[in-house]
Structure 1
Amino acid sequence: MDELNQPPHANRGVVMLEEEKENVENPLVSMVDYIRVTFKTHDVDHIIENILHLSKDFMTEKPNGFYGYVGTYELDYIKVFYSAPDDNRGVLIELSGRGCRQFESFLECRKKTWYDFFQDCMAQGGSFTRFDLAIDDKKTYFSIPELLKKAQKGECISRFRKSDYNGSFDLSDGQMGGTTIYFGSKKSEAYLCFYEKNHEQAEKNNIPLEDLGDWNRYEIRLKNERAQVAIKELIKRQDLTYIALQIINNYVKFVDPNERERRYWETSDFWQAFIGDVGKLRLFMKPQEDFYQKSRNWLRNSCAPTMKMVLEADKHLGKTDLSDMIVEAELADKHKKMLDVFMANVADMVV
C-alpha cells in the first residue's frame, strides 16, 4: 500500500477527552489566521470603536509603529497603527494568529462573526493587504514527507512554478523532525505552506511528540488584490470552505502517473479524499481570553528560577527579601494596563 494512503499511526490510549472527540468528528478545522487591513483615515478612535468595537481605555498607546506608521494602540496581539497627519497611510489594523484568536472572544461577546467584521471593514473603505487562512488536519489524510517525495517525482500539478521545503533530524539518534513544504514565492500574492504542526508544537513547548498525536497544518497566505477578492467572496458566500477550496484546489493537485501525458494523470485518491472533506469545514472560533499570558509565560520561564533561588535563601537566612521586593515594586503604566485588562470581563472591553 502507498504510504500516503496508509492510516495514521497514533496511540491515543483508552480515555478520550472531549476535545479529542471533537477532532474525530471534525478532523479538519479551518480558521482565520492573520489579517492586515488599512483605512484612508486618521481618525484612529473611530476605527477602534466602530470597526474593532473595543474600548480604547483598555489599549496601550506606544509612540512608535511598524510599516512606516508613527504610533500604535495595542491590546496584547491586537494592534492598530496610525500614521502622521500628512501621511496618506491612514490607519492599519493588524491581527496575528493569536490576535485573531483573541479577537474572536470579542466577536463572541457581541454575538458577531468574522463575516460581520469583514463587512464593517468594507463599509468603511477598508483595504485588506494580507489575509491568511489555516486548516488543522488531525486526521492527517497524507504524510507531508511522503507528499514531498511525490512532488519531487513530478507528481504535483500546480500553477506555481517553484516549491521549497525544509526539514530537520536529531544528530544523536537520527530521528526525523518536522517537514515543511512551501508552494509559490513568499513575495507573491498567493502562497501555500504545508507542515507538520505536531513537530513544531512539540519542539516549541518541549513536550513529547506522541502526546500531540497526528497533526498537519495547511496555511494559505494572500496579499493585496488576492486578499481583497477572497474577503469579498467570503462576505458574499459566508463560507470559509469555498475560499479554502478555491485556493488549494486551484493551485495544487497531486496525481498518479500513467501512460498518458502528465496533464491527463488521474488525481490521487488520498488528495481527492482530502479535498472532499475540506468541503465540510466550518468556521472555527476558539476564543482565547488569557490576555496577559505572554508576560506570565516570560516570568515563569525567565524569572521563576531566580525567584525560587532567592526564596530558598530567605528560608535559610530567615529573611523576607523576595516578598519585600514584590511589595515594594512599583508597577509601570504598561503593567497597570495589563492588570486592568486581565481583571476586566470581555464584555467590559467591547463597545
Structure 2
Amino acid sequence: MTTQQEPPLANRGVVIENENENPLTAMVDYLRVSFKTHDVDLILENVVHLQKDYMQELESGFYGYIGTFQLDFIKVYYSKPGDNRGILVEMSGKGCRQFETFLKWRKKSWFDFFQDCINHGGKFSRFDLAMDDRKTYFAVPMLLEKVKNGEAISRFRKSDFNGSLDIADGTNGGTTLYFGSKKSEAYLCFYEKNYEQAEKLNVPLEEFGDWNRYELRLKNDRAQMAVKSLIESRDLLSIAMQIINNYLRFVDANEKVSREQWKTSEFWLAFIGDVGRLSLFMKPEDDFYEKSRKWLQNSCAPTMKMVLEADRVLGTQDLSDMVVNAEMSSKQEKMLDVLLADVGDMVC
C-alpha cells in the first residue's frame, strides 16, 4: 500500500512513500548546456532567469571561456566575440539544488528550464541524473560479486570498482561500482552514499541508515536525447530507470541453459518494477553561502574566539575594531547583496 504525503515546505513535488519503506528519489545532479549566441543578457533573462546584478562577474572562465557570471554554484561562462563556443551554463549538484529554489519561486519545473534551453538552441554536453535509494533494493558489494561471477548483462564492455576496508576488523568501508568508460557518452556509477557521507562529515555511519546512490552521467548526443525525452515525459525517475534498464540487467546463473537464457534476478525485477509507484522528489537549496560560512567556521572562528577572550580579559576591543575597519572585496559585497535579497528579487 502507498500513501501520498504533503511535502515539507523546503521541497517541491510529491513524495510517495511505502509503509515502513523510504522512497526512491530522482534528481538532476549536474548539467552543462551551451548556446551559440554571445548575448549573455539574453541567456540570463530568458533561460536562467537570474538578474545579472546579483551575480558576480569574473574575468576568467573554464573550458576556453574568457569570463564568468556566477551565483555560488550556478555559473554562466561567456566567450570572446567570434568564438564559436558562445555561452555555457554549468550547474554542479549543489548548483542544481540552488537553482530549484528559483524554479520553485517562479512556479516552474526543470522541464520548463529544459524547454527554454531547447527553444534557444541549447546543446547539452553533460547531463547527470541521480537516484537516492533509501530502501536499498540491493547491496552494492553484492552487485560487485554478481559482476565477478558473470551475472551482469550489459551494453557496456567493462566495469570497474573501488572500495575500502577497516584495518582493525576488516569491515566494508564503502563500495563503488562503475559501468562503462568515463570517456563514453553514457556512464553509470552505483555507490554506498551512507559510507561516503559518514566519512566526509566524520559522523557515525548509523546516523544515515541504509542509503545507496545511483548516478547516470550522460554526454553530448546521449545527454541531448535524455533532455528531450524528459520534456516529453515530464517524469524524471521513469527516464532515469529506463536508461539504467537499457544498459544493465542482473541475472541468476543456471548451468542448465545458455547465459542468454538466464533469468533476471528477483531483486533487480523489484527495483525496476517499482518505478510505476514512485515519483519525483526535489529538494531546493536556499543557502548560497555554504562555502564561505564553512570556511569562516573552520578556519577563522577559533582565532576570533581567542581574540575575543583576550579582549574580555584585557578590556580591549581588538576584534570589533578589526571588523569595523575591514574592507569587503567586490565578491563579498556581491555575496552580501544576495544574502539580503529575497529570492524573488533575483529572478527575472
| TM-score normalised according to structure 1 size | 0.92
Partner of 2:227: 231
1:350 match: 347
Which residue type is aligned with residue 319 of structure 2? Answer: L
User: Of residues 325, 330, 333 in structure 2, which corresponds to 1:333?
Assistant: 330
Aligned counterpart, 2:154 = 158
Cα distance in 2 for partners of 1:140, 1:276 equals: 14
| 1:289 matched residue in structure 2 | 286
Q: Which residue of 1 aligns with 2:3?
A: none
Paired residue for 1:113? Answer: 109
The answer on 1:310 being equivalent to 2:320 is no
What corresponds to 1:272 in structure 2?
269
Say if 2:25 and 2:237, in contact at 8 Å, map to a contact too. Answer: no
- Work out which of the residue numbers 167, 170, 174 in structure 1 matches 2:170: 174
Letter in 2 for 1:215: W
1:52 to 37, 48, 53: 48
Please show how residues 22-171 of structure 1 align to structure 2 within 5 Å: 26-171=22-167
Return the offset for 1:22: 5.6
Residue 263 to residue 21, structure 1, CA distance change in 2 (3 Å): closer
Q: State the Cα deviation string for residues 18-51 of structure 1 (Å, max 9, x = none).
A: 8999685652000011110000000011101110
Superposed displacement of residue 312, structure 1: 2.2
**Distance in 1 between residues matched to 2:124 and 2:117, nearest whole Å:** 9
Residues 173, 302 of structure 1: CA spacing in aligned structure 2 closer, same or farther, 3 A cutoff?
farther
Aligned match of 1:249: 245
What is the CA–CA distance in structure 2 between the aligned matches of 1:283 and 1:125, rounded to whole Å?
Answer: 27
Instruction: State the TM-score, normalizing by the size of structure 2.
Output: 0.92
Gaps of 5+ in 1: 1-17
Name the amino acid aligned to 1:299: L
Query: Does structure 1 conserve the Cα–Cα contact (< 8 Å) formed by 2:34 and 2:123?
Result: yes
In the aligned structure 1, how far is the partner of 2:83 from the partner of 2:243? 34
CA–CA distance in 1 between the matches of 2:285 and 2:316?
40
Q: Pairwise mapping of residues 317-328 of structure 1 onto structure 2 (< 5 A)?
A: 317-328=314-325
| AA partner of residue 311 (structure 2) | D
One-letter amino acid of the counterpart of residue 239, structure 1: D
Distance 1:22 1:349, change over 3 A: farther
Q: Deviation above 4 Å: which 4+ runs of structure 1?
A: 18-26
One-letter code of the match for 1:332? S
Is the 8 Å Cα contact of residues 73 and 91 (structure 2) preserved in structure 1?
yes
Count of matched residue positions in the alignment of Structure 1 and Structure 2: 334
Contact 1:156 1:253 in 2 (8 A): yes
Please tell me whether the aligned partners of residues 241 and 279 of structure 1 are also in contact (alpha carbons under 8 angstroms): no
Distance change in 2, residues 1:136/1:314 (3 Å): same
Alpha-carbon separation, structure 1, partners of 2:16 and 2:49 = 34
- Aligned residue for 2:145, secondary structure, equals helix
The letter of the residue matching 2:299 is S
1:202 to 177, 189, 198: 198
Q: CA offset at residue 174 of structure 1? A: 3.1
Please give the alpha-carbon distance, in whole angstroms, between the structure 1 residues aligned to 2:21 and 2:347. Answer: 33
Contact 2:238 2:275 in 1 (8 A): no
Q: AA paired with 1:143?
A: A
Task: Tell me the distance in 2 between the aligned counterparts of 1:239 and 1:101.
Answer: 18
Q: Which secondary structure does the structure 2 equivalent of 1:266 belong to?
A: coil
SS at match of 2:203: coil
Which residue does the alignment assign to 1:14? Answer: none
